[in-house]
Amino acid sequence: MREIRFREALGEAMSEEMRRDENVFLMGEEVAEYNGAYKVSKGMLDEFGPKRVIDTPIAELGFTGIGVGAAMNGLRPIVEFMTWNFAILAFDQIINSAAKILSMSGGQIGCPIVFRGGTGSAGQLAQQHSQTFESWMANTPGLKVISVSNPYDAKGLLKSAIRDDDPVCFMESEVMYSDLGEVPEEEYLLPIGVADIKREGTDVTIVSYNKMMKVALQAAEELAKEGISAEVIDLRTIRPLDYKTLVESVKKTNRMVCVEEAWPFGAISAEIAYEMQKYAFDYLDAPITRITGADTSMSYSPVLVDAFLPNAARVVKAVKEVMYVV
C-alpha cells in the first residue's frame, strides 16, 4: 500500500467526491489561489475552476452562512476554516442554523455540509489559537463530529462526511498535515460512528483521538516494556460516539484511561467516564482516569506549552495507578 501525507489524503477525498458529485464544492480562506493554508487543496482550483473552489474574504460568519444557505438549497459545500479557533465567529451559523434547520423545518430542509479545519494546539500559538473544539461541537444536537489521527482515517471518513446528509464538523490537527500513512489506491469509505482498536491489549483500555493518539500509542509501547498490555482505541467519531466498542474493551481489560488535549471540565473523557460507569460498572476494577490538557488557557512559553499538554509519562503513571502497581 502506498504512503501519502495527511494533507494529501484530505485533498484526495475532496477531489474524488467533487468528481463524483457536481453539487460538492469547496470554499474558505486561501483554498484556491494559494492551494490552501496547509496545501490541502493543492491543484484543486486548476481541476475544478473558481466556481467550485472558492476563495473567501476573512469573514468566517459571512462565508459560513453562504455555505449553510447553499446546503439548504441542495448543494454539498465543504467549508474550510484555517483553524477552528477562527470558526468561533461562525458558531451562530453552525449551531443555530446548520444544526437546527432539519428540526425547525419539520424534516423538510436538510443541511448536508462539512465544516473542516485544524483544531487544538500547534506549537507556540498562544491562547487564542490553541483551543480544542470537539466537545463544544459535540454538545450540539444535530451536528456530527469527526476527529481523525492518521491519513487512512482522514480520507475514508472525510468522504463519508461529504456524502452524509447531516452537517458534519471535521476536526484535524495542524501539526499532522505532513504525517505519512498508508492509504489504498482504490476508493474506500469508513463508517461514521465507529471507533477503531489501533492496538489490542488485555490489561487496560486507553481511549483517545486526534493527535493525542500518538501519546496514547507511545504510552502503550512504554507499558509493554514493563509487561503491561494496553488496548488503544481511537474514537475517530466523537458524535455519535461508539460506546459499544468501549464497553466491550472494558469487559476484557477491566480498566480505562482516557487521554485528550481539551480542558477537563465538560470534556469528551468526562462523558465517556459517565457512560462507562453506567454501562460497564460491573466490569471495572478501578475508577476511570482522565488525562487532559491543563485547566487554563494555553500560554506562548514552550515550557508552559509542554506543561499544558498530556504526555506519555502522565499516561503511563495513570495506567499504573489504575492497575495498583505504583
Catalytic positions, written as ranges: 60, 129
The number of beta carbons lying within 10 Å of the beta carbon of residue 133 is 21
Per 3-state DSSP, what percentage of the chain is helix, strand, and coil (rounded to 5)? 40, 20, 40
Residue pair 235/193 in contact by the 8 Å Cβ criterion: no
Q: Which residues pair with 170 in a beta bridge?
A: 116, 146
| Residue from 234, 170, 238, 229 nearest 208 by CA | 234
C-alpha distances in angstroms, 12 versus 16, 43, 115?
6, 10, 17
Longest CA–CA span in the chain (Å) reads: 61
C-alpha distances in angstroms, 211 versus 110, 224, 324?
32, 21, 28
95: Cα separation from own chain's centroid: 17
Residue pair 112/71 in contact by the 8 Å Cβ criterion: yes
Q: Compute the half-sphere exposure of residue 108: CA atoms within 13 Å on the CB side of its CA.
A: 3
State whether residue 180 is helix, strand or coil: strand
Distance CA 287, CA 212 (A): 21
DSSP for 251-319 reads: HHHS-EEEE-SS-STT-HHHHHHHHHHHHSGGG-SS--EEE---SSPPPSSHHHHHHHS--HHHHHHHH
